[in-house]
Amino acid sequence: MSLVAPLVDVVRSVFSVFFPSDCRLCGIPLTNISRLPVCPECLHSISPIRVPQCVQCGERLLPAQLLMGDGRCKGCREFEPDFDRAVSSGEYAGALRGLIHLLKYENVLPAAPVLGAKLAEAVTQLQPYGGDAPPVLVPVPLHSSKRRERGFNQAELIVRAAVKRLPQPLEVASVLKRRRPTHSQVGLTRQERIANLRDAFRVVAPERVKGRTVIVVDDVMTTGSTISECARVLKQAGAEPVWAATVARTLKDTVSLQSAESESREVVEAAEMAVSI
């Protein structure tokens, strides 16, 4: 054993001299031999979400929202999502966001096992699963044109890495298909997002989900519109309940939430004044 540590140090030194490389997230020089060009410090910086969250979609909650009784955010109360609960491993920021970008946009496939481990953490949060049969994991699909362009579906790569980390084996069923390509969701209102995705998905093998608990899985959840539409068609095919697990969740900052709450109160007050007049 005493000879192993010096040998490892020598190998690392040789690697750093002949195969110089920098961390693709923070830019510091890498000294470890690894297929994933990310330093240990960046990987260790990834942490779970530690803010109050909506019990249904996982959005950040303001203290005032925690006092409303049901633990749900304003969005879930106004636009009831079709999934019953959604959980995520971490916030879509920092090193976690960087890892997802390396996989999706730079084809760094060794990022998939790391992200799969994070997805497994999210899926585990949904235990106990309930029901007689174990749940089915259903990845959100890409349209065929997008899949050809990218060469893979990141949700499928991540979920297949995740099942290796779960305490019990779960079935992965790619039963969702995109009927048509959809426009980018960036900049759309919630109503526009819902309309953009309406009937964009279909279930190709309903017998695999009928009467089963289904967990829709993806890399990132933003507003939840995509996952909600997936849940809607899965429930039409007989799945019940339908949950969601993602590697990361985009969280609104506190200022944005407070601004939205203020605007909502102003609208209500204006309506009340109009009625009184």
> Which of 88, 27, 87, 24 has its CA nearest to residue 56?
87
* Same domain (yes/no): 236, 117: yes
Number of compact structural domains in the chain: 2
Please say whether the beta carbons of 155 and 216 come within 8 A: no
Does residue 194 form part of some domain?
yes
* Same domain (yes/no): 36, 56: no
* Same domain (yes/no): 56, 23: no
Q: Nearest-5° angle of CA 6, CA 10, CA 16?
A: 145
29 phi, psi to nearest 5 deg: -65, 140
Please say whether the beta carbons of 62 and 257 come within 8 A: yes
* Same domain (yes/no): 24, 60: no
153 phi, psi to nearest 5 deg: -105, 115
* Same domain (yes/no): 217, 90: yes
Q: Nearest-5° angle of CA 149, CA 153, CA 158?
A: 145
| pTM (predicted TM-score) | 0.82
Blockwise average pLDDT, block size 10, the chain, 277 residues? 60 53 94 89 96 95 76 89 97 98 96 98 81 87 92 97 93 94 70 78 96 97 93 97 97 63 43 43
Radius of gyration, alpha carbons of the chain: 22
Does residue 276 form part of some domain?
no
Q: What is the pLDDT of residue 128?
A: 62
Beta-strand runs (E) in the chain: 85-91, 136-139, 171-172, 176-178, 201-203, 214-221, 242-249
Q: Could you identify the residue written with the tokens 């585990």?
A: 124
Looking up residue 75, the CATH number of its domain turns out to be 3.40.50
Does residue 269 form part of some domain?
no
Tell me which residue range forms the domain holding 29.
1-44
Q: What is the pLDDT of residue 199?
A: 85
Does residue 262 form part of some domain?
no
